[in-house]
Amino acid sequence: MTRLADLARVVRSKNAGPTLLTIDVLFAETAHLDRALAVLSSSRISSLYGIEADKIRVIPYRSATAIKIVMPRKVIAGDPGDRDVYGAQQHAPLLGIEV
């Protein structure tokens, strides 16, 4: 069984401004990217993150053998109750996805 954490070279998350979260998944080869792309649908990500699927964008970026995922942050960065001001630890739910 292969998980995304085994297949990807980089899985990172960060804010793109205080209202958006962006997750980049980078691969060593195109075949890996395609395998992950088949699984990383917006509905799959929606169930992992609790964000409506139509607000999630999955963008293949082949020049860097990468996939970008963009979704709204549930809490505006720095608001009370926020757990991650920079959004740099929001990639974890993806690591265990079977690819």
Partner 1 sequence: MKPELRVLAASGQLGYGIPEAAFAAGIARAPHVIGADMGSIDPGPAYLGSGRMATSPEMTRRDLGLVLSAARGLGVPLLIGSAGTAGARPHLDATLEIVREIAREKGLRFRLASIAADIPKALARDARPLGAMRSMDLERTTHLVGQMGTEAFIRALDAGADVVIAGRACDTAIFAAIPLMRGYAPGLAMHMAKIIECTSLCCEPGGRDAILATLSEDSFELESMNPARAATPLSVAAHALYEQEDPYTVQEPEGTLDLRGAQYKATDARRTRVRGALWQPRARPTVKIEGAGPFGERSVLFCSSADPRVIANLSSILLDVEATTRQLVPGSDFSLYPRVYGEGEAFLLVECIAPTAARGLAVLGVFRQYLLHHGFPGRLSTGGNLAFPFTPPELPAGTAYRFTVYHVMDVEALAPLFPVSIEDIA
Q: Is 90 in the site for partner 1 (CB under 8 A)?
A: no
Among 79, 89, 92, 96, binds partner 1 (CB under 8 A): 79
We find the least distance from the C-beta atom of residue 54 to partner 1, in angstroms, to be 13
Q: How far is CA 58 from CA 61, 66, 83, in A?
A: 10, 11, 24
Q: Is 18 in the site for partner 1 (CB under 8 A)?
A: yes
The burial class, CB within 10 Å (0-12 / 13-18 / 19+), for 33 is buried
We find the least distance from the C-beta atom of residue 88 to partner 1, in angstroms, to be 9
